[in-house]
């Protein structure tokens, strides 16, 4: 995994909120577009992320966005994704 110089999207939005400023619309569309394309690529490989949130979207200085934390992700098999919670018997 690459180091995200700008941190995650959660802290990015908090910085703007603390400064009482709006995030420029171009930045919002760029991030949304990259996240959508990333999810499309994951889904094309039959991978479901299952934990998309601002804390799992990482930002780099070159304005590239990375989706991280695939610990809860599932590989879709035969059209279904199964999640086991709790201790199996």
Catalytic residues: 51
Residue 48: enclosing H or E segment and its boundaries? strand 47-48
Structure tokens at 77: 């098999």
Rounded CA separation 23/31 (Å): 11
Tokens of 71: 């610990």
């Amino acid at each position: 995994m690459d180091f995200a110089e700008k941190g995650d999207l959660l802290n990015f939005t908090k910085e703007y909120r603390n400064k009482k400023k709006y995030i420029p619309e171009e930045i919002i569309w760029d991030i949304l577009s990259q996240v959508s394309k990333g999810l499309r690529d994951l889904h094309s490989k039959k991978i479901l992320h299952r934990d998309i949130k601002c804390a799992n979207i990482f930002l780099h200085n070159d304005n590239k966005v990375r989706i991280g934390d695939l610990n809860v992700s599932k590989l879709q098999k035969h059209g279904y994704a199964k999640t086991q919670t709790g201790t199996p018997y």
